[in-house]
Amino acid sequence: MNSLLRSICASALVAGGAVGMMVGIPGAAFAETALGTSCGEPHAIAPNYYDGFGNAAPCTANFAVTRTGTATITVQVVPRPGNSRQDPHMWSFDISDCRGTILPGAAPATFTCSFGPGPHTVYVDKSIGDSYVDLTVDY
């Protein structure tokens, strides 16, 4: 009986240690996705497309995690038909940790950013000339 109990305890310790090592690996995938909000076509019944000053509100995606990892951010700015403006749109991850620009009408661009535990926000500028912004964050 004692040898059986020792064998069960030893197996449990080995399995627990293996799981603990896998969970503690930095950059381990979370396999979750956050989609952008306030990213669509402006409409009278969608006032969150605009900020308090009548400007196009940013497209944002939010998530919170308990450990470090890597986010894969995909952004595309789709202009309104007939809009020829080519102003770069700024995107950022946690304001200044990871950022860049993308042009309206460009193919979807993918960026990779590292993060630590806690809440995170991906932000993409919009303009009145945009039809919508596609924002996906895989983490």
65-108 pLDDT, tens per residue?
999 999 999 999 999 888 877 889 999 999 877 999 999 999 99
Q: Is the pTM of this model over 0.85?
A: no
Q: What is the pLDDT of residues 9-64, one digit of tens each?
A: 444 433 444 333 334 444 455 679 999 988 886 555 555 566 666 677 789 999 99
For residue 67 the two structure tokens come to 């450990």
Q: For residue 33, which of 5, 6, 65 has the smallest C-alpha distance?
A: 65
CATH dotted code for 26-138? 2.60.120
Alpha helical stretches, state H, the chain: 2-23
Residues facing 102 on adjacent strands:
89
pLDDT tens digits along 107-139:
999 999 999 999 999 999 988 788 889 999 999
Listed by start position, the domains of the chain span 26-138
